[in-house]
Amino acid sequence: MPSPRQQWCDQPVLVTGATGFIGSHLAERLAQAGSHVTAMGRDLTKVEHLRKFPNLRLERCDLLDQQGMWKLIRGHTVLFHLAGWMGQAQSIDDAHDLNVTATENLLHLAAINDVERVIYVSSIAAYGFPSNGVIDETTALDTEQDDPYGRTKALAEERGFELAEKLGVEFTVIRPGMVYGPSSPTWTLGALAKVQGRRPVIFGDGRGHAFPTFIDNLVDALLLAGTSPKAPGQAFNVCDPEIPMSDFYDYFGRMVGRSSRVEAPAWTARMLRPFNKMLDLGLPVTEERLRFFAMESSYPGGKAKALLGYEPRVLIEEGMRRTESWLRKEGHLTEA
């Protein structure tokens, strides 16, 4: 059986959202494996480091520009779709267009241009906030949840599978958890900033679970999803083993040499909600986020192991060690 590197060598691959955190890591790994990568995004200045690869070209394009996307898609056999609405409060009206309509458009364009497989990066947020317990791929998605990010991710998956079957395009969904690691804006830089600023990071009793996914693990899963004959028509949870949310933030507390345990009872957090928005405190105190921080659930990856042969190779201790090393190198942490 060819190695993953051999399987990707000389493959023409398009990555949407390649200027983002996950997309840039994926594009780099594909280029290292010898793929002919088209890395698409809007702000190419974020990924100047990718220009060192002769087999990778950067292309600026708006996700909703159908003519521009048609030109980009031509000639590719695999499409990794990562671009979309990521939860920016100032553009909430764009959530459906960027996450659902754009995915529909891409599948139509993929079918016209003979793309063999589309891999869509969704999120465990697509499940909404089900009761505590085991949330595997048989759990229904919540397409009516209040959180616009999770709702539109769920709707994009639903429409994606419907269209892919109709159009004859192979379609696979990956649902990562809290993706952290070097350059992660939310679960590395954002988490660190909260601890450094001594803002509350634990709401309730701290026993709710974190669902970390180290970036290198996620890229491993994406590459397997792009080549495995068992991947089409399937969705996969990709989370590392869950840990208490308080333990997740404790890693950042140790990096800065102070406790991360700035806690707030859930009722206090709910009272903070109007002031959080007014004063731009950056606290995760929407009702949906408070429910997320209180969940004592798990998102098992048994299906990805069984069908893709995937297992997370970097566990939390090593992942946080690599994360800390990057943070120090980039000047986000002073030397201890």
Query: Quick check: pTM over 0.85?
Result: yes
Q: Of 271, 245, 262, 264, which is closest to residue 203 (Cα–Cα)? A: 264
Confidence of residue 279 (pLDDT cuts 50, 70, 90): very low
Q: What percentage of the chain carries pLDDT values higher than 70?
A: 84
- Return the higher-pLDDT residue of 148 and 336: 148
Q: Of 240, 241, 238, 242, which is closest to residue 223 (Cα–Cα)? A: 238
* Residues 287-299, mean pLDDT to the nearest whole number: 72
- Return the higher-pLDDT residue of 256 and 284: 256
- What sign has the CA pseudo-torsion 235, 162, 229, 153? negative
- pLDDT computed for residue 240 by the predictor: 98
HEC-encoded secondary structure of 159-222: HHHHHHHHHCCEEEEEEECEEECCCCHHHHHHHHHHHHCCCCCEECCCCCEECEEEHHHHHHHH
Confidence of residue 275 (pLDDT cuts 50, 70, 90): very low
Q: What pLDDT digit, counting tens, does each position of 107-123 carry?
A: 999 999 999 999 999 99
For residue 134, pLDDT beyond 50: yes
Q: Of 251, 274, 246, which is closest to residue 262 (Cα–Cα)? A: 246
Q: What pLDDT digit, counting tens, does each position of 217-274 carry?
A: 999 999 999 999 999 999 999 999 999 988 999 999 999 987 655 555 554 444 445 5
Asked: is 4-179+213-239+297-313 a CATH 3.40.50.720 domain? The reply is yes
- pLDDT computed for residue 278 by the predictor: 47
Q: What is the signed CA dihedral for 112, 114, 116, 118, rounded to 10 degrees?
A: -30
- pLDDT computed for residue 258 by the predictor: 77
CA atoms within 13 A on the CB side of 70: 7
- Domain boundary assignment for the chain: 4-179+213-239+297-313
- Return the higher-pLDDT residue of 273 and 15: 15
- What sign has the CA pseudo-torsion 126, 131, 134, 139? negative
For residue 331, pLDDT beyond 50: yes
Contacts of 144 (CB under 8 A, 6+ apart): 151
**End-to-end CA distance of the chain, in Å?**
46
* Residues 149-177, mean pLDDT to the nearest whole number: 97
In 239-278, the DSSP E strands lie at 243-244, 263-264
- pLDDT computed for residue 296 by the predictor: 79
For residue 152, pLDDT beyond 70: yes
Confidence of residue 38 (pLDDT cuts 50, 70, 90): very high
